[in-house]
Amino acid sequence: PSTPSSKDQAEMDPADMEDVEDVEEEETGEDENSKARQLTVQMMQNPQILAALQERLDGLNGSPSGYMESLPKVVKRRVNALKNLQVKCAHIEAKFYEEVHELERKYAALYQPLFDKRSEIVTAAYEPTDEECEWKTDEEEELTDEMKEKAKLEEEKKDEEKENPKGIPEFWLTVFKNVDLLSDMLQEHDEPVLKHLEDIKVKFSDPGQPMSFTLEFHFEPNEFFTNTVLSKTYKMRSEPDESDPFSFDGPEIMSCVGCTIDWTKGKNVTLKTIKKKQKHKGRGTVRTVTKTVPNDSFFNFFTPPEVPENGELDEDSEAILAADFEIGHFIRERIVPRAVLYFTGEAIEDDDDDLLLSNQEGEEEADEENDPDYDPKVS
């Protein structure tokens, strides 16, 4: 997230702000009412919609609260007992997710040697053997031996012509650029910095500690900052909210803490210098003022808005944190475990297929709900 904080904006000289005229086109109430009337007329002329509405109205006994009010007192009393059972279920579910977190920690330790080996190959610390590099693609299976030999010779010739690269250059930068959620955060001036990113690791909180996870971004020595690791910790809650226990749906991120980046002088990509001409009202003289202001950058990810103790945020901060939580979760759940598939683009195709399938299922469900002849009891 790259929106400057309200603090930054308060420190900025009004003379440095661009003159921007916001023009918003609003529909008049009359236009909206006219559209609503047209839509109502069209709906009322459709016999299928009328029949479906009539069926719903015939079977409707007021709103859910109205239905509850119509129940005998003794039945309401039993419903309250069921709700108390539901709260107990939510607390058991919270324990379930705590054990899931413990399992994640356990298996993270089993995955880590493989992720370390991945990092060694990417950074050229280890050269994989011929056996480790063997991978049969669908295309290769269809090729004859003669064609395979010819393709191999051509590939070797290309390698000789090219400079021999070390490891897998720009591995993580390519991953970021391939994923829309991450590429939207990237600016052109971020790319030279991210070329030095060697690995991303996920660390889970220790047993008995409050639930959290930390993303660690490991960098090789570079000209931009002196840190070797940039970190971001996400604090989670896995227990029902006492004021609304039925909303519990597993662990949720409550807040996050970034880190201080020790930028080399003149290399901080989260700031930019602007020059503005100012005219003195009395004397009429013009002077040029140089000012440092916040700049859009991926590295603003490490300075998220702080959540006040009362938990109340303004709309902008809420939107930034919501996007931040989604990105942190996505890096942990998808990017780190399947990095090579995001590098090649294969995981993106899978994500697109999953999204398409999900959309189709949603449309089918909507069609069933809108079909007056649909009976959920008939499979």
Q: Is residue 15 part of a domain?
A: no
Amino acid at 47: P
Q: Is residue 279 part of a domain?
A: yes
State whether residue 208 is helix, strand or coil.
coil
Residues with Cβ < 8 Å from 235, sequence gap 6 or more? 210, 211, 212, 253, 254, 255, 256, 257
The residue written with tokens 């190959």 in the block is 121
Q: Is residue 53 part of a domain?
A: yes
Residues with Cβ < 8 Å from 310, sequence gap 6 or more? none
Q: In 60-190, which ranges are continuous DSSP H helix?
A: 64-70, 73-122, 130-133, 138-142, 145-161, 171-178, 180-183
pLDDT of residue 315: 83
Say which DSSP state 286 is in. Answer: E
Q: Is residue 27 part of a domain?
A: no
Question: Nearest-5° angle of CA 167, CA 170, CA 174?
Answer: 130
Q: Is residue 158 part of a domain?
A: no
Residues 45 and 179 reside in one and the same domain:
no
pLDDT of residue 188: 96
Q: Is 168 exposed, middle or buried (0-12, 13-18, 19+ CB in 10 A)?
A: middle
Say which DSSP state 263 is in. Answer: B
Which residue, among 259, 237, 233, 257, has the nearest Cα to 247 in the 3D structure? 237
Give the bridge partners for 106, in sequence order.
Answer: none
pLDDT of residue 114: 96
d(CA 273, CA 69) in angstroms, rounded, equals 65
Residues 66 and 198 reside in one and the same domain:
no
pLDDT of residue 172: 97
Which residue, among 262, 260, 251, has the nearest Cα to 304 in the 3D structure? 260
Residues 65 and 213 reside in one and the same domain:
no
Q: Is residue 17 part of a domain?
A: no
CATH number at residue 213: 3.30.1120.90
Domain count, the chain: 2
Q: Is residue 370 part of a domain?
A: no
d(CA 317, CA 5) in angstroms, rounded, equals 8
d(CA 40, CA 346) in angstroms, rounded, equals 47
Residues with Cβ < 8 Å from 9, sequence gap 6 or more? none
Contact call for residues 218 and 225 (beta carbons, < 8 A): no
Say which DSSP state 264 is in. Answer: P
Residues 184 and 327 reside in one and the same domain:
yes
Residues 288 and 222 reside in one and the same domain:
yes
Domain boundary among 70, 87, 117: 70
Mean pLDDT (the chain, rounded): 79
For 55, the domain range is: 35-70
Residues 309 and 348 reside in one and the same domain:
yes
Say which DSSP state 114 is in. Answer: H
Give the bridge partners for 197, in sequence order.
Answer: 219
Residues 52 and 173 reside in one and the same domain:
no
Residues 193 and 266 reside in one and the same domain:
yes
Q: Is residue 259 part of a domain?
A: yes
Residues 49 and 185 reside in one and the same domain:
no
pLDDT of residue 6: 40
Element (H, E) at 319: helix 315-330
d(CA 180, CA 186) in angstroms, rounded, equals 10
Which positions of the chain have pLDDT values less than 70? 1-65, 138-148, 150-152, 154-163, 310-311, 350-379
pLDDT of residue 252: 79
Contact call for residues 299 and 269 (beta carbons, < 8 A): yes
Residues 289 and 175 reside in one and the same domain:
yes
Residues 117 and 39 reside in one and the same domain:
no
pLDDT of residue 178: 95
pLDDT tens per residue across span 125-154: 999 999 999 987 765 555 566 666 766 676
